[in-house]
């Protein structure tokens, strides 16, 4: 038997589709360990075909976006294996799907169903990734009272332990994190509309801190603002004008990593795309939010509901190209959707 050089093995494996790659984790310990190597993940991320992952009342799906470099892009729907995931028994009362660094999606079970999940991250100062969940618990002020208040807490997946966070002197709202947060390099970032800033929850220090000002500080209260990760190492901001439905996309000029995530008003944003209204719905009023990504700095792909039929839709917009793919609303109803550029289903934690 001829053994290939390890560098060649790694290069070959990095070119496999994610669904094929996950089948080879059990071949040997060295192949399995590749999933934790940053350079390998980066190569996989660069070659990944964009897709959305979403959950309905009966199945888990991925929508693969195909042919974005051509003149006639399309989508392909996959039904994912959800055996062993008991989400149907919970009737969606405790269900959240989220991406961490846009790379992996894991099913995480926790015992306290009264814990409301806001986002997932990890301590980026440690060599291994120990995932943590930021959320809150509804607590009663007195035993005999029905009045409740929110206590912000961190749930550590490895130890299954809760830790309460002091937020008495912090001007931020946990509901904003729950609705508008994205994860980048282990930290959560979200929009704060009160002071036109992006805030950050640092899981290594377990504190909230300001990150930067929004690039667009003048907007109507009914305009849609949505934050997303761009190229795996930057942030992007989508702004849709409620009156004209014109969309503008901003992205941070430099990479965001441990050296510059302490927050600064000197973070530079650049205007990447301005797109005409076409036939896009008013994204501000869609019931279950939106998910989007930018391809090759020229193409915007958005998941949202049709504002008339509530059917799940994918929109692909580039220059004069406008394509809408409506997924049969009679077949299912979409509850949660997330952009996952390189989805690989991993074992339950």
The pLDDT tens digits of the residues spanning 55-76 come to 776 677 788 888 888 889 999 8
Phi, psi of 191, rounded to the nearest 5 degrees? -85, 135
In this prediction the pTM is: 0.79
- pLDDT beyond 60 at 317: yes
Confidence of residue 143 (pLDDT cuts 50, 70, 90): low
Q: Are 60 and 143 in contact (CB under 8 A)?
A: no
Both tokens assigned to 187: 């930290």
Average pLDDT over residues 252-264: 73
Distance, in Å, from the CA atom of 139 to the CA atom of 118, rounded to the nearest integer, reads 17
The whole-number pLDDT of residue 345 equals 43
Q: Are 199 and 193 in contact (CB under 8 A)?
A: no
The whole-number pLDDT of residue 173 equals 63
Average pLDDT, the chain: 76
Both tokens assigned to 40: 């390998």
What is the per-residue pLDDT across 280-307, written as a single tens digit (0 to 9) for each?
A: 777 776 655 688 889 888 899 988 887 7
Between vectors from CA 290 to CA 286 and to CA 291, what angle results, nearest 5°? 170
Average pLDDT over residues 257-268: 67
Of 188, 158, 165, nearest to 176 (Cα)?
188
Average pLDDT over residues 314-339: 71
Both tokens assigned to 50: 């964009």
A 10 A CB-CB count for 329 gives 15
Of 74, 25, 96, 15, nearest to 48 (Cα)?
15
Strand 312-318, strand 299-305: pairing: antiparallel
Average pLDDT over residues 7-14: 80
Distance, in Å, from the CA atom of 189 to the CA atom of 315, rounded to the nearest integer, reads 25
Confidence of residue 238 (pLDDT cuts 50, 70, 90): very high
Confidence of residue 142 (pLDDT cuts 50, 70, 90): low
Confidence of residue 334 (pLDDT cuts 50, 70, 90): very low
Average pLDDT over residues 88-97: 54
Distance, in Å, from the CA atom of 176 to the CA atom of 172, rounded to the nearest integer, reads 8
Number of H helices, E strands in the chain: 5, 20
Quickly tell me which residue has 């190569």 as its tokens. 43
- pLDDT beyond 70 at 44: no
The whole-number pLDDT of residue 84 equals 58
Average pLDDT over residues 231-236: 88
- Choose the weakest-confidence range: 119-133, 154-168, 273-287: 273-287
Both tokens assigned to 118: 């806001």
Confidence of residue 187 (pLDDT cuts 50, 70, 90): very high
- Positive or negative, the CA dihedral 128, 30, 16, 76 is negative
The whole-number pLDDT of residue 161 equals 85
SS3 label, residue 183 = strand
Confidence of residue 332 (pLDDT cuts 50, 70, 90): very low
Task: Give the rounded percent of residues in the chain with a pLDDT score beyond 90.
Answer: 11
Average pLDDT over residues 121-132: 86
């Amino acid at each position: 038997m001829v053994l290939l050089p390890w560098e060649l093995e790694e290069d070959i494996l990095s070119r496999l589709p994610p669904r094929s790659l996950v089948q080879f984790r059990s071949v040997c310990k060295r192949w399995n360990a590749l999933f934790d190597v940053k350079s390998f993940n980066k190569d996989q991320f660069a070659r990944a075909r964009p897709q959305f992952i979403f959950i309905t009342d009966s199945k888990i799906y991925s929508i693969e976006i195909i042919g974005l470099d051509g003149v006639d892009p399309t989508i392909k729907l996959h039904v994912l294996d959800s055996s062993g995931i008991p989400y149907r028994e919970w009737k969606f009362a405790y269900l959240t799907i989220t991406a961490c660094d846009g790379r992996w999606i894991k099913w995480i079970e926790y015992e306290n169903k009264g814990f409301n999940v806001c986002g997932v991250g990890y301590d980026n100062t440690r060599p291994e990734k120990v995932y943590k969940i930021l959320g809150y618990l509804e607590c009663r002020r007195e035993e005999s009272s029905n009045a409740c208040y929110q206590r912000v807490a961190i749930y550590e997946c490895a130890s299954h332990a809760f830790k309460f966070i002091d937020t008495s002197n912090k001007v931020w709202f946990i509901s904003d994190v729950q609705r508008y947060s994205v994860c980048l390099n282990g930290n959560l970032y979200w929009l704060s509309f009160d002071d036109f800033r992006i805030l950050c929850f640092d899981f290594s220090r377990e504190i909230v801190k300001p990150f930067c000002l929004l690039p667009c500080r003048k907007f109507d209260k009914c305009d849609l603002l949505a934050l997303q990760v761009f190229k795996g190492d930057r942030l992007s901001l989508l702004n849709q004008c409620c009156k004209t439905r014109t969309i503008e996309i901003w992205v941070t000029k430099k990479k965001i990593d441990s050296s510059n995530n302490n927050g600064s008003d000197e973070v530079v944003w650049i205007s990447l795309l301005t797109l005409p209204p076409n036939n896009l719905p008013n994204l501000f009023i869609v019931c279950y939010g939106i998910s989007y990504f930018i391809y090759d700095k020229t193409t915007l792909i958005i998941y949202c509901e049709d504002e008339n039929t509530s059917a799940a839709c994918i929109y692909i917009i580039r220059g004069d190209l406008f394509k809408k793919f409506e997924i049969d609303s009679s077949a299912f109803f979409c509850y949660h959707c997330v952009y996952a550029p390189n989805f690989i289903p991993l074992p339950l934690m």
